[in-house]
Amino acid sequence: MSAHRTAISQEDTMPTVIKTVNNGPLRIKGAFRVVDHDGTTYDLDGRRTASLCRCGHSSNKPFCDGTHNKVGFTTDDQKPASPEDDQN
């Protein structure tokens, strides 16, 4: 039996990040799988980034195809103002 080592890059140990894009999709960066409602995993060919549609208008759901720009999709990602904000 031979020892087999697999190099682990720093990228592999980083947590996956899901970031909101203002007036756009959710951008995923890191190790992830996208699975549909039937349990089928999308073949992303090892990609480590993807953008998921949250406007509902993509022709390539669940992925963003840029249609959010055409339909004027807007998000409300800002935290609600706290009462203290009004006093300043």
User: Which chain residues interact with ligand FES by CB under 6 A?
Assistant: 24-25, 53-55, 57-58, 64-68
Nearest residue (CB) to ligand FES, 34 versus 66: 66
Query: For residue 10, how many C-alpha atoms fall within 13 Å in the half-sphere facing its CB?
Result: 0
CB of 44 to ligand FES, least distance (A): 17
Nearest residue (CB) to ligand FES, 14 versus 18: 18
CB of 74 to ligand FES, least distance (A): 11
- Six token digits for residue 4: 């087999």
CB of 18 to ligand FES, least distance (A): 14
User: Could you tell me where the beta strands, DSSP code E, fall in the chain?
Assistant: 17-20, 26-29, 49-52
Q: What is the rounded distance in angstroms from the CA atom of residue 7 to the CA atom of residue 13?
A: 11
